[in-house]
Amino acid sequence: MEISGNVDNLPAVTPLRTTFRYLGQFAVVWLILRSIRPVACALKSGHEQQVNDFRRLVRRLARLAFIGFTVFLTAGCATISPRNVLPEASASQVELEGYHNIRFWGDAPAREIEAIVMADMPKSGTRSPLASERQPAVSNLLAISGGAEDGAFGAGVLVGWSDAGTRPVFDLVTGVSSGALIAPFAFLGRDHDSQLREIFTKYGRKDIFTYNVSGLLEGSSLTDDAPLARLIAKYVDDSFLQEIARERLKGRILLIGTTNLDTQRPVLWDMGRIAMSNNRDAITLFRKILLASATLPGVFPPVRIQVRVGGQDYDELHVDGGVTRQVFIAPSLSPFVSRDQKPGRPARKSRLYVIRNGKIDPEWQSVNENVLSITQRSISTLIKNQGIGDLYRIYSVTKREGIDFNLASIPSDFTDTSKEPFDQRYMISLFDRGYDLASHNYSWAKAPPGMDLATQAHN
């Protein structure tokens, strides 16, 4: 099994791309001419504020000129290799060669998913996470949301939780987007806290992606995520995979969510099964799934995953798991919930901890009445409320199953702002805030916003 590449360099230049190239040059020239008047005023007045404004303008014009020049050079240099798309009728017959039961649809019936997740437990010597006579008194579950650079909050919470001495070993860990990058380290425990701290405090935007100007014209994204792929490969090595496999053999489960764009469905990957598969390409697939889960569509290039149906090779297109789920738990929690107890044995409790890498409360902001500002604000509002909706869904499951619900999110009084995507200064500050909260007896919320009041009213 192999993950295909995203982009091939081809020499063809179409008339359409030539048109875009000239439009890019025209835009830069127009912006320069439009700026002549304020530049002249700044030079003439000599006032300090206007001079500073002029300096900023010069820097901005230099960047625009560079972008225009890059567009001129690269328009027509990049295109996307053709896909061999999996037919709709074959979507349920997919195989990944050399693997067994490593993934399932996130919206499939719970009983089907439970059967897949627990299928090989007898082979591993553990019938289920509940089977051992020496089982702990509590089953602990962890779900980590997406949030891009806000993932620094979740990383800080986990490290601070460890240093407080109260962080449990989790029977189930799930992750989406930036939460997918945190989840494997959270799964392996506090011995990997130093790596988790490093990932979210040592690196900045240039270590995550570089801008891809040609993507504006005909590419699949605005950036190149090769730096992020290298970062994942640095930390996810063979020994890391072996640790994941050992924990899966104990019955502990690590699930990462991606979105299959062709089917518009969430896909949940059993990362432990991939790690214990002994497939020579396992580490490549493991890394690619983490990359795919963090791939914001249009911003980062999608990840192609090769599959086989009826002896024929096809490809699937996978992107950020947050497109379909901002945060999730296993659709079936039956393996982690104890109902039938032996006489004399106390009932085993189940606790779910959800780390929402974002603010839940509404945030006021003055929005400029232009297309860009309105679109950005609308999308961010949509994402926030989708995430809250996912919390409601999870909360309803825990109430049905009798699981103790616990929620952490970025506090509303955290007012630092990010100057650019993955601003290192911002991530350090947010990591420190999460660490400080968790290391000082953090009070987890017992319900999503509004649900505690609704529950009280119902009762």
Active site members: 177, 320
SS3 readout for the chain: CCCCCCEEECCCCCHHHHHHHHHHHHHHHHHHHHCHHHHHHHHHHCCHHHHHHHHHHHHHHHHHHHHHHHHHHHCCCEEECCCCECCHHHHHHCECCCCCCCEEECCCCHHHHHHHHCCCHHHHCCCCCCCCCCCCCEEEEEEECCCHHHHHHHHHHHHHHHHHCCCCCCCEEEEECHHHHHHHHHHHCHHHHHHHHHHHHCCCHHHCCEECHHHHCCCCECEECHHHHHHHHHHCCHHHHHHHHHHHHCCCEEEEEEEECCCCEEEEEEHHHHHCCCCCCHHHHHHHHHHHHCCCEECECCEEEEEEECCEEEEEEEEEHHHCCCCCCCCCCHHHCCCCCCCCCCCCEEEEEEEECCCCCCCCCCCCCCHHHHHHHHHHHHHHHHHHHHHHHHHHHHHHHCCEEEEEECCCCCCCCCCCCCCHHHHHHHHHHHHHHHCCCCCCECCCCCHHHHHHHHC
Closest CA to 294 of 184, 179, 188: 179
Residue 246 burial (10 A CB sphere; 0-12, 13-18, 19+)? middle
**Cα dihedral angle (218, 219, 221, 224), rounded to 10 degrees?**
-140
Distance CA 137, CA 344 (A): 14
